[in-house]
Amino acid sequence: MAETTQLEKPAIKKREPLFGPKERKLLTDPLNDNNPITVQVLGICSALAVTTLVWPSFIMAIAVVFVCAFSSLFTSLLRKSIPKQVRMIVQLVIIATLVTIVEMTLRAVDYAVSRQLAVFIGLIITNCIVMGRLEAFAMANKPWRSFLDGVGNGLGYGGILLAVAVVRELFGKGSLFAGSPIEWKIIGPSADYMLNTTTISWLGWYQNNNLMVLSCAAMFIIGVFIWIHRSWNPKLVDVS
Amino acid sequence: MELVNIFIKSAFIENMVLTYFLGMCSYLAVSKTVKTAFGLGLAVIFVLGITMPINWLINNYLLAEGGILGQDLTFLRLILFIAVIASMVQLVEMVIEKLSPSLYNSLGIFLPLITVNCAILGGNLFMVTREYNFTESVAFGLGGGFGWFLAIIAIAAIREKIRYSNVPAPLRGLGMAFIITGLMGIAFLSLLGIDPAAF
C-alpha cells in the first residue's frame, strides 16, 4: 500500500489543475470576447427561427450545450485515431448520434415542445458552432478542455438565444415562457395579464408589436445586440 | 408550367435566405465582395440542384417502405442526406480548386462549410415534407439555389457600397449586415402577394 501511494503522488503533482485560470477562460471567453453569435457569426439560422418564444429557445439552448459539450469530448477522445481525410464524416456521425439522442429524449419528456422545435433540433447537426468548435478546438486539444470549450460555446450561444427570445416574446406577445409550467403573462388586453391594458387607463394605447413575430425582427435585434456588445467592448469593432 | 411555378415560388416568394433564414452563416461571412459571393452562390446552386434529385431517389427507392430494401428506413434519412451532401461538396471543392485557385482561396473554410449550410439540408428536408416528384424536386433545388444566389449577390453589392457610408463604428460590418438582411427580408415579404399561377 505504502509503495503505491508513493508512486501515485508525483503523478498527481505533475498534472495540471483541473479547473485553473486557463479552464475558466475557456468557459468565459465565448460568453463575451469570442461569442459564437455576435463575434464568430456561427449558428445564426436556429437563432432566428426558434426565438419567437422563450420556452422553446430555452430547450434549444440546453440541447445545443449538451450536443456541443459531448461532441467536443468524444471528438477529442478520438482525435488521434481519426484519419484527416474522413474527419468531417466522423464528426458528423458523432453529432448526428447526439442529436438523435436529444430528439428522442425531448419527444419522451415534452412532446408539445418537441413538435414546435421539430426541424430545428434536427438542424443542430448543421449548426456551424458545433462543427466549427470541433474543427477549431477539439481536434487539437485534450478531452477535459474540449469539453469545457464546448460548454462555454453552448452557453454563449444559448445566452444570446434567450436574450433575443425575451425581447421578441415580451414585445410580440406580451408574455414570457408561454407554454411552459411557469407561464408569465406580462401585458395584454385581458384580466389574465399582470398589466391589463383595458383597465389601466394610461396603458390604453398599448398594442403588441407584430413585427417582433416575423423572423426579420430577429435580424434587427441581433444587429442591435452586436451594436451594444461592440460599443461596450470596443476591441471587437470591425476595422475593415 | 407547374415546374416554372415551383422555380419562381422557391426563388422569390419562399426565398431560402430572406423568408426562412436558412444558410445564414456563410451568407453573412462571404458577402463582403460581389466576386466571392458570386462564386459561392454558383456553388450553392450546383450543390442544391444535384443533391436534390439524388436524395429524392434515395428517399423514395431506398428508404421508403416500398423501396428496394422493402423496409421502412426513414430514420436513416438525416445521416444519408448529410453523406450525399458532404460528398457533393467535396466534388465541387475539387472542381473549383482546379478551375479557379483564386476563388478557391478566397472562399477558404466556407467551401467545406457548404456541407453544414442549413439551406442545403433544409431544402432537402422541405423536398421530403412537401412530397415533390422527381422533376419537381429538380426545379425546387435549382429555384432555391437561385434564390440563395440572388440574395447573397444583393447583400454583397449593398455591403460594397455601404463601406463608403458613415456607419457608427460598433455597428460597422457585421451589425450592419444583419440590419440590411432584416430590411431585405421585409422587402421580400411583399412578394408573398404574387400568385405563381399567373406565370
At B143, is the pLDDT very low, low, confident or very high (cuts 50, 70, 90)? very high
- Which one is predicted more confidently, B191 or B157? B157
CB-CB contact of B10 with A26 (8 Å)? no
Report percent pLDDT > 70 for chain B.
94
Would you call A220 and B179 a contact, using CB atoms and an 8 Å cutoff?
Answer: yes
Across B60-64, B135-139, B164-168, which has the greatest mean pLDDT?
A: B135-139
Is residue A184 helix, strand or coil? strand
pLDDT of residue A119: 67
Would you call B25 and A217 a contact, using CB atoms and an 8 Å cutoff?
Answer: no
DSSP string across A125-172: TT-HHHHHHHHHTGGGS-HHHHHHHHHHHHHHHHHHHHHHHHHHHHHH
Q: What is the ipTM of this complex?
A: 0.76
Closest CA to A22 of A158, A129, A146: A146
The three cell numbers of residue B164 are 463608403
pLDDT of residue B154: 92
Nearest to A89 among B28, B86, B171 (CB): B86
Q: Which residue of A has its CA nearest to B30?
A: A41
pLDDT digits (tens, 9 = 90+) for B64-110: 777 777 777 777 777 788 888 888 888 888 888 888 888 788 776 66
CA distance A43 to chain B (A): 7
Closest CA to B87 of A88, A126, A135: A88
Element (H, E) at B53: helix B34-57
pLDDT digits (tens, 9 = 90+) for B33-54: 888 888 888 888 888 888 999 9
Q: What is the mean pLDDT of residues B129-154?
A: 90
Nearest to A231 among B29, B113, B170 (CB): B170
The three cell numbers of residue B61 are 427507392
A47 CB-near residues (< 8 Å, 6+ apart): A37, A157, A160, A161, A164, A218, A222
Going by DSSP bridges, is the β-strand pair A195-196/A175-176 parallel, antiparallel, or unpaired?
Answer: unpaired
Query: What is the model's pTM?
Result: 0.78
The three cell numbers of residue B4 are 416554372
Q: Which residues of A touch B116 (CB under 8 A)?
A: 125-128, 131
Q: What is the mean pLDDT of residues A42-49?
A: 72
